[in-house]
């Protein structure tokens, strides 16, 4: 996925969620997504799916989401699903990425646990190729199937401050009710998405061309530039783990 402000890789298992601006469009999207299986569903269930799709569309439009999609399949014979959303929070702060990450870490870290108030949110800071990232892992009540029954939902969010010229924070979120496969399947997948993020350089206005200067021959004993540029190789150790703790 590429835009004028950010680039990232979308896992092939995920299908983009197309926001619908009306119930009619939401119903058409539900029928297209379910395919032949939609015919076997009762009218009440199709209506419920349509209303859920419309509600999700409204939330995405309000959030001005950059991208949103979901996957649905089986893992070891069991049905599994997850949703990936990428949004941008605009700010007026042009602080360096490291400074912004330190502020996010302080803001998002919960107070110490007590006997009456255990900590249910795990917050950590890592270094990704595009800059420092603050991750938040927590679970919530999730989907309400009935007044007595609900499905817990695990949510992992990554807050990646954008370069000062962009003035914003990129927020990536992966949520899934399949907590059993988080560590082995969804956490590594989420990390791949985070590590793929790149911020393209803002386009610079074209400068008038100047006559090229002839290169000066090197003097005897003078070092020459290494072939391919002088960039240092990446560090051998990778501090960005696939375990979000």
pLDDT tens digits, 212-240: 555 444 444 444 433 444 434 434 444 34
Taking the alpha carbons at both ends of the chain, their separation in whole angstroms is 28
Within a domain: 181: yes
Query: Are residues 79 and 55 located together in one domain of the fold?
Result: no
Per-residue pLDDT at 31 exceeds 60? yes
Residues 97, 163 share a domain? yes
My answer on whether 75 and 52 are in the same domain is: no
Let me know if residue 244 belongs to a domain: no
pTM of whole model > 0.75? Answer: no
Distance CA 203, CA 4 (A): 9
81 and 189 co-located in one domain:
yes
Residue span of the structural domain in which 44 resides? 20-64
Q: What pLDDT, on a 0 to 100 scale, did the predictor assign at position 241?
A: 44
Q: Are residues 60 and 77 in the same domain?
A: no
Facing residues of 206 across strands? Answer: none
- pLDDT, position 219: 46
Same domain, 37 and 131: no
Query: Of the ranges 87-91, 146-150, 191-195, 222-226, which one carries the lowest mean pLDDT score?
Result: 222-226
CA distance 239 to 101: 16
């Amino acid at each position: 996925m590429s835009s004028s402000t950010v680039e990232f890789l979308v896992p092939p298992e995920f299908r983009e969620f197309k926001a619908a601006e009306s119930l009619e469009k939401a119903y058409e999207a539900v029928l297209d997504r379910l395919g032949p299986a939609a015919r076997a569903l009762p009218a009440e269930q199709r209506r419920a799916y349509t209303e859920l799709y419309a509600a999700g569309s409204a939330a995405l439009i309000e959030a001005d989401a950059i991208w949103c999609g979901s996957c649905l399949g089986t893992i070891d014979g069991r049905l599994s699903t997850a949703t990936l959303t990428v949004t941008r929070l605009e700010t007026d702060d042009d602080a360096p990425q490291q400074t912004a990450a330190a502020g996010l870490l302080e803001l998002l870290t919960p107070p110490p646990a007590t006997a009456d108030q255990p900590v249910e949110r795990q917050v950590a800071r890592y270094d990704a190729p595009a800059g420092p990232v603050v991750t938040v892992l927590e679970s919530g009540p999730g989907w309400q199937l009935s007044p007595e029954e609900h499905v817990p939902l695990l949510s992992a969010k990554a807050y990646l401050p954008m370069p000062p010229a962009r003035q914003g924070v990129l927020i990536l979120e992966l949520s899934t009710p399949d907590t059993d496969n988080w560590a082995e399947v969804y956490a590594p997948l989420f990390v791949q998405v985070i590590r793929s993020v790149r911020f393209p350089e803002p386009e610079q206005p074209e400068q008038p061309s100047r006559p090229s200067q002839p290169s000066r021959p090197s003097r005897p004993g003078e070092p020459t530039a290494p072939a391919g540029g002088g960039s240092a190789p990446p560090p051998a150790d990778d501090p960005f783990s696939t375990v979000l703790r």
